[in-house]
Structure 1
Amino acid sequence: MTGRRHRSLFATRLVNTTPEGEQPQVLGDLRRAMLDGDEPPGTPIPIDAVAAFFGVSQNPVREALKILIGEGLVQHTPHVGYRVAHLTFAEFRELYDVRQALESSALRSAVEHATPADDLALRDVHESLAEAVHAGDERAYHARSREFHMTLIAPARMARLQRMYESAWNITEPARPMARVSQPGRVAFHGEHDRMVEAFVARDAERLVAESATHYEHLRSAIEAFAGDPDVFVQP
């Protein structure tokens, strides 16, 4: 059994972002809770409690969960129920390999098509990431790290690739991997981000791809450190 301490907490940590008088945004709010890491891997999803929270019947909840299954964020076991996707470490690491391959493909195009406005956007998110690192804010670091990489490839204007990249990233988010990295580790990663920004602004595609490869090598080493944690990964 894994994640026992989370079993009765799913609905209690949800946030309803629906403006008053509008239909509940069940799908968006469920997805947001998982991507923010508020609902850890393996957390059971009680349909009745979620429906009661949003003030809807169980049908909209079931429909939302079907979509989230397709996105890889939710798993369903017949006669057992739904839960936040709980991966093996091998599956999790494979998603990092997928992300690296897609990012590497996008970076050269991003450099080719980048504008001064893209430089400014990247510097802004990098500065926000620096603030999270220096403050030791794990939650902010989790969010800003993702935003940094998304901003880095955005100038490529490769919509299909970006959707695949975002999908692969999303599946790893419930585990909040970057929030589990030590503070010295986050500082080291931020130094690598510094060098990636420098290469991007210099329009040095080869250097940027090389820096990205080094960064992913270190990311894989970092997640290896908690490969045996049953609250994160399905254990053999």
Structure 2
Amino acid sequence: MRLKTASRIDGLLAKQGIEVDLSKSISESAPLNEPTYLRVKRAIIGDLVAGNFAPGTHLTIETLTSRYAVSHMPIREALRQLEGEGILISIAHRGFRIEALTETYIRNIYDIRVGIESMLAHRAVEMATDSDVEALRHMHEDLNALIRSGKPLVASQENIAFHKRIYGIANNPEAEQILEGRTRVVRTVADSLGGYTPDVFEVVIAEHEKMILAFESRDPEAAGQAVFDHVSAARDRLLRRMAAKEVFNQESPAPTSIEAEQ
């Protein structure tokens, strides 16, 4: 089993790398096959978290194209997603205004996550086959190795796949769609702050282990509670890191006057 797991991990790590020369706020451990617009989105959030973009600043496609050295198309898609997530506000003929990442916003998103994800985990245990449970155990073992590998963004992508695999078993695409649309930004914020850090490796692994054990014991209540506890703990970890980086202390300046077509 260890040899097979090591082989799968080597394959995942081999895919990591940099596709384009974006902002320094993008980690060099980003997966090579990650779409460019997601890299741009990560860079924008990273610049906001780092204080390079103060709340209230106007962002335009031309400015961002120059900053990140990519074409208009991935810039447009990144801005569209961030607008949908409430981080940007569209201003007619003047681009976008970036909003502050507030503690209330983060807590509200996690309230949505914890409710939907714990429900999906409960339902997934009820519907899981023996094959599903075995596949989750293998994914969990692979993810453990990635978390410990020191490749935080690669581990983050595999973590997303792990959670999606669980929730997909519940066969509720409508709930998954709501969940996906409201959680991208908090994932991006977490990645912008460095993703998994050594002090939380074993904590996160233990939280995931409780989820897997609930599947293996066919206990829907335990699965829902394990996910509730895991997502709540992830919220608290992220809020502590954001507070330490003084993300919540950024003041909103008077809007700049950059003029450009969207």
TM-score of the pair, normalised by structure 2: 0.66
Measure how far apart 1:158 and its partner are. 0.2
Does structure 1 residue 75 correspond to structure 2 residue 76?
Answer: no
Q: Which runs of 5+ in 1 are unaligned?
A: 1-10, 15-27
Does structure 1 residue 31 correspond to structure 2 residue 38?
Answer: yes
Superposed CA RMSD in Å reads 3.2
TM-score of the pair, normalised by structure 1: 0.72
Question: Which sits farther off after the overlay, 45-54 or 154-163?
Answer: 45-54
Measure how far apart 1:206 and its partner are. 0.8
The 2-side partners of 1:146 and 1:111 are apart by: 18
Does structure 1 residue 130 correspond to structure 2 residue 144?
Answer: yes
Check the 8 A contact 2:88/2:97 in 1, yes or no.
yes
Check the 8 A contact 2:127/2:169 in 1, yes or no.
yes
Residue 190 of structure 1 aligns with an amino acid whose one-letter code is I
Measure how far apart 1:164 and its partner are. 0.8
1:227 alignment partner in structure 2:
242
Q: Which runs of 5+ in 2 are unaligned?
A: 1-19, 24-34, 252-262
Partner-residue secondary structure (3-state), 1:76: strand
Measure how far apart 1:156 and its partner are. 0.6
Does structure 1 residue 111 correspond to structure 2 residue 125?
Answer: yes
The 1-side partners of 2:207 and 2:245 are apart by: 29
The 1-side partners of 2:147 and 2:104 are apart by: 28
Q: Deviations over 1:16-50 (max 9, x none)?
A: xxxxxxxxxxxx6313542xx34415257541255
Check the 8 A contact 2:143/2:155 in 1, yes or no.
yes
Alignment of 1:5-84 (within 5 A): 12-13=21-22, 29-34=36-41, 37-39=42-44, 40=46, 42=48, 43=53, 46-48=60-62, 64=77, 67-72=80-85, 74-76=87-89, 78=91, 81-82=95-96
Partner-residue secondary structure (3-state), 2:85: coil
1:20 alignment partner in structure 2:
none
Partner-residue secondary structure (3-state), 2:157: helix
Check the 8 A contact 1:41/1:84 in 2, yes or no.
no
Greater relative contact order (Cα 8 A, min sep 6): structure 1 or 2? 2
Q: 2:206 aligns with which of 181, 191, 199?
A: 191
The 2-side partners of 1:221 and 1:86 are apart by: 19
Give the number of equivalent residue pairs: 208
Q: Deviations over 1:107-142 (max 9, x none)?
A: 222112112332233223212211122212222232
Rate the CA distance shift 1:192–1:51 in 2: closer, same or farther, 3 A.
closer
Residue 202 of structure 2 aligns with an amino acid whose one-letter code is V
Partner-residue secondary structure (3-state), 1:227: helix
The 2-side partners of 1:62 and 1:183 are apart by: 33
Does structure 1 residue 151 correspond to structure 2 residue 160?
Answer: no
Measure how far apart 1:77 and its partner are. 5.7
Partner-residue secondary structure (3-state), 2:241: coil
Does structure 1 residue 174 correspond to structure 2 residue 188?
Answer: yes
Partner-residue secondary structure (3-state), 1:157: coil
1:162 alignment partner in structure 2:
176
Q: Percent identical across equivalent pairs?
A: 21
Partner-residue secondary structure (3-state), 1:224: helix
Measure how far apart 1:234 and its partner are. 6.0
